[in-house]
Amino acid sequence: MTDEVDAQDEDEIDLASLSDDELTEQMHDDLYDGLRDEIVEGTNILLERGWDPGKVLNDALVEGMRIVGIDFRDGILFVPEVLLAANAMKGGMAILRPLLAETGAPTLGKAVIGTVKGDIHDIGKNLVGMMWEGAGLEVIDIGINNPVENYLKAIEEHKPDIIGMSALLTTTMPYMKVVIDTLIEKGIREDFVVLVGGAPLNEEFGKAIGADAYCRDAAVAVETAKSLLAAKRAAA
C-alpha cells in the first residue's frame, strides 16, 4: 500500500515547477487525458506568470483540443474520452471568460449566438461568445440544439445586432439555412448581421445559405463582427 502511494506521488507532476513551454505541453497532455483539475491549475499558473488570457486560451487550450480532434477523427480517442477533454477545457475557459470579457468596452452592440438544432457541440460557440464579450459585445448565448423558434424568441427578447450560428456536423449545417430563410420570410433578415461558423463550413457555404459571412475561427468572428457592424452603421 505504502509503495503504491509512493509510486503515485512520484508520478504526480508539480506543474508550477515547469517552464512555460513544458507547462503548455503538459496541459496539452492533461487535456488529452481529460484532467480538469490540472487544466484549471495550469491555466491559473500561466495567468499568474503574466500570460495574456488570449494566449493561454490559444496556446494551451485550443491547441490541446486540436490534437484531441485529430485523434478523435482517426479513431484513437472515443466519445467518452473526448467528453472528458471537453470538460477539462471548460474548466480552463471558466477562468478565462471573465478576463477576456474585461478587456473590451461594453458598447459595441448585442449578439445572440447558438448551436443549431441537432447539434450539441458548444466549445467553439462558447469561444466565439467569450471572444465577442472580450471585444465589447453583449452576448446572449442560447446554448445548443436550437430550433429556429429559439432564435426568434431571443431576437424578440433581446433585439440583437448580430445573430451567430454554430454547427459542427455536416448533417446539422443545412439547418442554418432554415433559420435564415425564416428571417427572410418574416421580413427581418436585413435587421441583423448574420454570421456562421463551425469546422465543416466554408465561405462558399456561408454565401450559399445567405449569411453575411462565414467565420473560420473566433478571432475572425471578432474582426468580422466589428467590421460588418461598423459598415452597417455607416450605411444607416
Binding region for ligand B1M (CB under 6 A): 62, 65, 68-69, 72-73, 79, 82-83, 86, 113, 118-125, 127-128, 164-166, 168-170, 195-200, 215, 217-218, 221
The rounded distance, in Å, linking the Cα atoms of 43 and 37 is 10
- Output the smallest distance, CB 105 to ligand B1M, in A: 20
What SS3 state is found at 116? strand
The smaller minimum CB distance to ligand B1M, of residues 100 and 128, is found at 128
Contact (Cβ atoms closer than 8 angstroms) between residue 26 and residue 42: yes
**Is the CB of residue 136 less than 8 Å from the CB of residue 107?**
yes
Taking the complex as a whole, the smallest distance from the CB of residue 226 to ligand B1M amounts, in Å, to 13
Q: 191 and 162 in contact (C-beta within 8 Å)?
A: no
Nearest to ligand B1M of 73, 107 (CB atom): 73
| Closest CB 28 distance from ligand B1M, rounded Å | 13
Residue 143 has which C-alpha cell? 446554448
Q: Toward ligand B1M, which CB reaches closer, 137 or 196?
A: 196
Measured from the CB atom, is 13 or 33 closer to ligand B1M?
A: 33
Give the single-character DSSP code of 62: I
> Min. distance of Cβ 222 from ligand B1M in angstroms?
9
Distances (CA, A) of 111 to 12, 149, 157, 169, 183: 43, 17, 12, 23, 16
Closest CB 87 distance from ligand B1M, rounded Å: 8
